[in-house]
Copies of this chain bind each other. A is one copy, B any other.
Amino acid sequence: MNYPSRLIEDAVSEISRLPGIGKKTALRLALHLLKREEEQTIALSEALLNMRIKTTYCAKCHNIADDALCNICSNPKRDHSIICVVVDTRDVLAIESTNQYKGLYHVLGGIISPLEGIGPSDLHIDSLISRIEHPEENEPVKEVILALSPTMEGDTTAFYLQKKLKPAGIKMSTIARGIPIGGDLEYADEITLGRSIVSRVAYD
């Protein structure tokens, strides 16, 4: 496409590098910004830059943090004896929004994926082991919950972590797989339905 200005072309090319945004959407967004007051673009541009340059990560769980420790790790009311292992910050936000978990997290920063060339050494696995083997005073870790997606990469990562953490001798668990609440048995896929029967839960 022949853009009317090199400035627009540059902006469209940068916006369309974002995931899920093509050239047409990028042009729509660029023209939208051009129509609005200059302040909006300045605010957007500064917010992006500030976020990218100033954001720090929690020294303990690798979640995004404003200080040395994130607001979950530094909260004394949380249960410091349980660690929930997740792939990224979005998973932390998703679990936090359930209000069902009061322990700590450990953000791996990715998932083992041979296809994309991501191995265990690219993830925050060593620091997880160190958190379990060298716990802070009075706070030994009692349980590790693996909250990984039920994909091939998720299962591979879970399997690797199980093997790595076994010597520590602590309780390990994974989030339940099964029929979603409100889901219809009739429309569930066979693997999920099969898993929900194998992992059936006894009534108290």
Count chain A residues whose beta carbon lies closer than 8 angstroms to a beta carbon of B: 57
In the assembled complex, which residues on chain B have CB atoms less than 8 Å from the CB atom of A179? Answer: none
Interface residues of A in 68-114 (CB under 8 A from B): 70-72, 88-90, 92-93, 96-97
- Give the docked Cα–Cα distance between A64 and B31 (Å): 10
The answer to whether B8 and A64 touch across the interface, beta carbons within 8 angstroms, is: yes
In the assembled complex, which residues on chain B have CB atoms less than 8 Å from the CB atom of A20? Answer: 25, 28
The answer to whether B41 and A90 touch across the interface, beta carbons within 8 angstroms, is: no
In the assembled complex, which residues on chain B have CB atoms less than 8 Å from the CB atom of A72? Answer: 4
- Give the docked Cα–Cα distance between A147 and B72 (Å): 57
- Give the docked Cα–Cα distance between A41 and B55 (Å): 13
- Give the docked Cα–Cα distance between A11 and B93 (Å): 16
Which 4 pairs between the two chains have the least Cβ-Cβ distance? Answer: A41-B52, A11-B51, A14-B47, A4-B64
